[in-house]
Structure 1
Amino acid sequence: MGLEDDFLKNDLDDEKTIEYIKNYLPQELKEKFSDDEFYYFLDLIDEYYSESGILDVQPDGDGYIEVDLEKIVNYIIKEAHKDEMGDYDPDEILFIVQGEMEYTESLEDE
Protein backbone atom coordinates (compact mmCIF):
# COMPACT_ATOMS: atom_id res chain seq x y z
CA MET A 1 0.00 0.00 0.00
CA GLY A 2 3.01 2.34 0.42
CA LEU A 3 3.47 2.95 -3.30
CA GLU A 4 -0.23 3.67 -3.79
CA ASP A 5 -0.12 6.12 -0.86
CA ASP A 6 2.83 7.91 -2.52
CA PHE A 7 0.86 8.28 -5.75
CA LEU A 8 -2.18 9.64 -3.89
CA LYS A 9 0.03 12.08 -1.96
CA ASN A 10 1.69 13.24 -5.20
CA ASP A 11 -1.73 13.76 -6.81
CA LEU A 12 -2.87 15.81 -3.83
CA ASP A 13 0.37 17.83 -3.93
CA ASP A 14 -0.14 18.48 -7.65
CA GLU A 15 -3.73 19.59 -7.05
CA LYS A 16 -2.56 22.05 -4.38
CA THR A 17 0.21 23.30 -6.66
CA ILE A 18 -2.21 23.83 -9.55
CA GLU A 19 -4.66 25.72 -7.32
CA TYR A 20 -1.82 27.93 -6.11
CA ILE A 21 -0.64 28.58 -9.68
CA LYS A 22 -4.17 29.44 -10.83
CA ASN A 23 -4.45 31.99 -8.03
CA TYR A 24 -1.00 33.34 -8.95
CA LEU A 25 -1.81 33.85 -12.64
CA PRO A 26 -3.09 37.16 -14.01
CA GLN A 27 -6.85 37.14 -14.55
CA GLU A 28 -6.62 36.72 -18.34
CA LEU A 29 -4.62 33.48 -17.94
CA LYS A 30 -6.64 31.84 -15.14
CA GLU A 31 -9.01 30.04 -17.51
CA LYS A 32 -6.69 29.76 -20.51
CA PHE A 33 -5.13 26.40 -19.60
CA SER A 34 -6.85 23.11 -18.80
CA ASP A 35 -6.03 21.10 -15.69
CA ASP A 36 -4.44 18.52 -18.01
CA GLU A 37 -2.11 21.21 -19.33
CA PHE A 38 -1.20 22.26 -15.79
CA TYR A 39 -0.38 18.64 -14.87
CA TYR A 40 1.67 18.37 -18.07
CA PHE A 41 3.58 21.56 -17.24
CA LEU A 42 4.28 20.32 -13.69
CA ASP A 43 5.58 17.04 -15.08
CA LEU A 44 7.90 18.94 -17.42
CA ILE A 45 9.13 21.18 -14.60
CA ASP A 46 9.93 18.08 -12.52
CA GLU A 47 11.58 16.48 -15.55
CA TYR A 48 13.69 19.60 -16.11
CA TYR A 49 14.83 19.63 -12.48
CA SER A 50 15.84 15.98 -12.56
CA GLU A 51 17.53 16.06 -15.99
CA SER A 52 19.27 19.44 -15.72
CA GLY A 53 21.35 18.48 -12.70
CA ILE A 54 20.04 21.45 -10.74
CA LEU A 55 19.03 19.15 -7.89
CA ASP A 56 22.70 18.24 -7.44
CA VAL A 57 23.96 21.84 -7.24
CA GLN A 58 25.31 23.01 -3.91
CA PRO A 59 23.59 26.09 -2.45
CA ASP A 60 25.56 29.33 -2.20
CA GLY A 61 26.65 30.86 1.09
CA ASP A 62 23.12 32.12 1.77
CA GLY A 63 21.61 28.69 1.09
CA TYR A 64 20.20 29.56 -2.33
CA ILE A 65 20.46 27.79 -5.66
CA GLU A 66 20.17 30.00 -8.71
CA VAL A 67 17.48 28.73 -11.07
CA ASP A 68 17.26 30.15 -14.58
CA LEU A 69 13.51 30.38 -15.14
CA GLU A 70 13.98 31.11 -18.84
CA LYS A 71 15.72 27.75 -19.30
CA ILE A 72 12.74 26.00 -17.70
CA VAL A 73 10.32 27.97 -19.90
CA ASN A 74 12.32 27.11 -23.03
CA TYR A 75 12.40 23.45 -22.00
CA ILE A 76 8.60 23.36 -21.54
CA ILE A 77 7.98 25.09 -24.89
CA LYS A 78 10.39 22.76 -26.71
CA GLU A 79 8.94 19.60 -25.14
CA ALA A 80 5.32 20.71 -25.63
CA HIS A 81 6.01 21.32 -29.30
CA LYS A 82 7.82 17.98 -29.64
CA ASP A 83 4.96 16.16 -27.83
CA GLU A 84 2.43 17.97 -30.08
CA MET A 85 0.72 19.52 -27.05
CA GLY A 86 0.77 22.89 -28.72
CA ASP A 87 2.85 26.02 -29.08
CA TYR A 88 2.83 28.21 -26.00
CA ASP A 89 3.71 31.84 -25.36
CA PRO A 90 6.93 32.03 -23.30
CA ASP A 91 5.56 34.92 -21.21
CA GLU A 92 2.50 32.86 -20.23
CA ILE A 93 4.58 29.80 -19.38
CA LEU A 94 6.89 32.00 -17.30
CA PHE A 95 3.92 32.88 -15.06
CA ILE A 96 3.25 29.16 -14.51
CA VAL A 97 6.91 28.43 -13.72
CA GLN A 98 7.05 31.40 -11.33
CA GLY A 99 3.80 30.25 -9.68
CA GLU A 100 5.19 26.76 -9.16
CA MET A 101 8.38 28.18 -7.67
CA GLU A 102 6.43 30.54 -5.38
CA TYR A 103 4.35 27.59 -4.18
CA THR A 104 7.45 25.52 -3.47
CA GLU A 105 9.00 28.42 -1.56
CA SER A 106 5.79 28.90 0.44
CA LEU A 107 6.06 25.28 1.62
CA GLU A 108 9.61 25.88 2.83
CA ASP A 109 8.41 28.85 4.90
CA GLU A 110 5.94 26.71 6.84
Structure 2
Amino acid sequence: MGMEDDFLKDDLDAEKTIEYIKSYLPQELKGKFSDDEFYYFLDLIDEFYSESGILDVAPDEDGCVEIDLGKVVDFIVEEAHKDGIDDYDPEEILFIVQGELEYAESLGDDE
Protein backbone atom coordinates (compact mmCIF):
# COMPACT_ATOMS: atom_id res chain seq x y z
CA MET A 1 0.00 0.00 0.00
CA GLY A 2 3.00 2.32 0.47
CA MET A 3 3.55 2.96 -3.25
CA GLU A 4 -0.15 3.69 -3.78
CA ASP A 5 -0.03 6.16 -0.87
CA ASP A 6 2.95 7.90 -2.52
CA PHE A 7 1.01 8.27 -5.78
CA LEU A 8 -2.01 9.67 -3.93
CA LYS A 9 0.23 12.13 -2.06
CA ASP A 10 1.88 13.21 -5.33
CA ASP A 11 -1.55 13.77 -6.90
CA LEU A 12 -2.69 15.82 -3.91
CA ASP A 13 0.54 17.87 -4.00
CA ALA A 14 0.06 18.53 -7.73
CA GLU A 15 -3.57 19.57 -7.16
CA LYS A 16 -2.50 22.02 -4.44
CA THR A 17 0.27 23.37 -6.66
CA ILE A 18 -2.12 23.87 -9.57
CA GLU A 19 -4.66 25.66 -7.37
CA TYR A 20 -1.91 27.96 -6.09
CA ILE A 21 -0.69 28.70 -9.62
CA LYS A 22 -4.24 29.44 -10.79
CA SER A 23 -4.63 31.98 -7.99
CA TYR A 24 -1.20 33.44 -8.83
CA LEU A 25 -1.99 34.05 -12.51
CA PRO A 26 -3.02 37.51 -13.69
CA GLN A 27 -6.74 37.89 -14.34
CA GLU A 28 -6.37 37.69 -18.14
CA LEU A 29 -4.75 34.23 -17.85
CA LYS A 30 -7.19 32.74 -15.33
CA GLY A 31 -9.15 30.03 -17.10
CA LYS A 32 -6.87 30.02 -20.16
CA PHE A 33 -5.16 26.69 -19.38
CA SER A 34 -6.80 23.34 -18.66
CA ASP A 35 -5.89 21.21 -15.65
CA ASP A 36 -4.27 18.75 -18.07
CA GLU A 37 -2.03 21.55 -19.31
CA PHE A 38 -1.08 22.46 -15.75
CA TYR A 39 -0.18 18.82 -15.00
CA TYR A 40 1.87 18.80 -18.21
CA PHE A 41 3.67 22.02 -17.20
CA LEU A 42 4.44 20.61 -13.73
CA ASP A 43 5.85 17.44 -15.30
CA LEU A 44 8.08 19.54 -17.56
CA ILE A 45 9.24 21.70 -14.65
CA ASP A 46 10.18 18.54 -12.73
CA GLU A 47 11.90 17.16 -15.83
CA PHE A 48 13.88 20.39 -16.26
CA TYR A 49 15.01 20.36 -12.63
CA SER A 50 16.05 16.71 -12.89
CA GLU A 51 17.90 17.02 -16.20
CA SER A 52 19.52 20.42 -15.60
CA GLY A 53 21.36 19.30 -12.48
CA ILE A 54 19.78 22.09 -10.43
CA LEU A 55 18.79 19.54 -7.80
CA ASP A 56 22.46 18.71 -7.27
CA VAL A 57 23.60 22.31 -6.75
CA ALA A 58 24.66 23.21 -3.22
CA PRO A 59 22.61 26.07 -1.75
CA ASP A 60 24.32 29.37 -0.95
CA GLU A 61 24.84 30.62 2.62
CA ASP A 62 21.18 31.69 2.76
CA GLY A 63 20.04 28.21 1.74
CA CYS A 64 19.01 29.34 -1.76
CA VAL A 65 19.71 27.92 -5.19
CA GLU A 66 19.63 30.29 -8.16
CA ILE A 67 17.16 29.13 -10.82
CA ASP A 68 17.15 30.75 -14.26
CA LEU A 69 13.40 31.02 -14.87
CA GLY A 70 14.03 31.94 -18.51
CA LYS A 71 15.66 28.56 -19.10
CA VAL A 72 12.73 26.76 -17.45
CA VAL A 73 10.27 28.71 -19.62
CA ASP A 74 12.29 28.01 -22.78
CA PHE A 75 12.37 24.30 -21.92
CA ILE A 76 8.58 24.16 -21.48
CA VAL A 77 7.88 26.10 -24.68
CA GLU A 78 10.31 23.95 -26.70
CA GLU A 79 9.06 20.63 -25.29
CA ALA A 80 5.40 21.58 -25.82
CA HIS A 81 6.20 22.47 -29.42
CA LYS A 82 8.15 19.23 -29.97
CA ASP A 83 5.36 17.20 -28.36
CA GLY A 84 2.80 18.87 -30.64
CA ILE A 85 0.84 20.15 -27.63
CA ASP A 86 0.75 23.86 -28.46
CA ASP A 87 2.95 26.87 -29.17
CA TYR A 88 2.78 28.70 -25.87
CA ASP A 89 3.65 32.34 -25.28
CA PRO A 90 6.80 32.42 -23.11
CA GLU A 91 5.49 35.44 -21.19
CA GLU A 92 2.39 33.46 -20.17
CA ILE A 93 4.41 30.38 -19.25
CA LEU A 94 6.68 32.56 -17.09
CA PHE A 95 3.70 33.28 -14.80
CA ILE A 96 3.14 29.53 -14.38
CA VAL A 97 6.82 28.89 -13.59
CA GLN A 98 6.85 31.80 -11.14
CA GLY A 99 3.66 30.51 -9.51
CA GLU A 100 5.14 27.04 -9.08
CA LEU A 101 8.28 28.51 -7.55
CA GLU A 102 6.26 30.77 -5.22
CA TYR A 103 4.25 27.75 -4.09
CA ALA A 104 7.41 25.73 -3.40
CA GLU A 105 8.86 28.65 -1.44
CA SER A 106 5.62 29.02 0.55
CA LEU A 107 5.97 25.40 1.66
CA GLY A 108 9.43 26.20 2.99
CA ASP A 109 7.98 29.11 4.97
CA ASP A 110 5.70 26.71 6.85
CA GLU A 111 8.58 24.65 8.17
Q: TM-score range by the shorter chain?
A: over 0.9
Q: Give the unaligned 5+ runs of structure 1.
A: none
Give the CA deviation at 1:62. Answer: 1.7
So what's the TM-score if we normalise by structure 2?
0.98
Q: Give the unaligned 5+ runs of structure 2.
A: none
Moved >6 Å (runs of 4+): none
The within-5 A match list for 1:61-100 is 61-100=61-100
1:52 aligns to 2:74 (yes or no): no
Opposite residue 48 of structure 2, the aligned amino acid is: Y
CA offsets per residue over residues 17-69 of structure 1, 9 Å max, x none? 00000000001101000000000000000000001000000111221110000
Q: Could you tell me how far apart the structure 1 residues matched to 2:43 and 2:96 are?
A: 12
Give 3-state SS (helix, strand or coil) of 1:59's partner: coil
| 2:18 corresponding residue in structure 1 | 18
So what's the TM-score if we normalise by structure 1?
0.99
- The answer to which of 57-66 and 90-99 deviates more is 57-66
Opposite residue 103 of structure 1, the aligned amino acid is: Y
Opposite residue 74 of structure 1, the aligned amino acid is: D
1:105 aligns to 2:105 (yes or no): yes
Total equivalences in the alignment: 110
Q: CA-atom RMSD, angstroms?
A: 0.5
Identity of aligned residues (%): 77
The within-5 A match list for 1:33-52 is 33-52=33-52
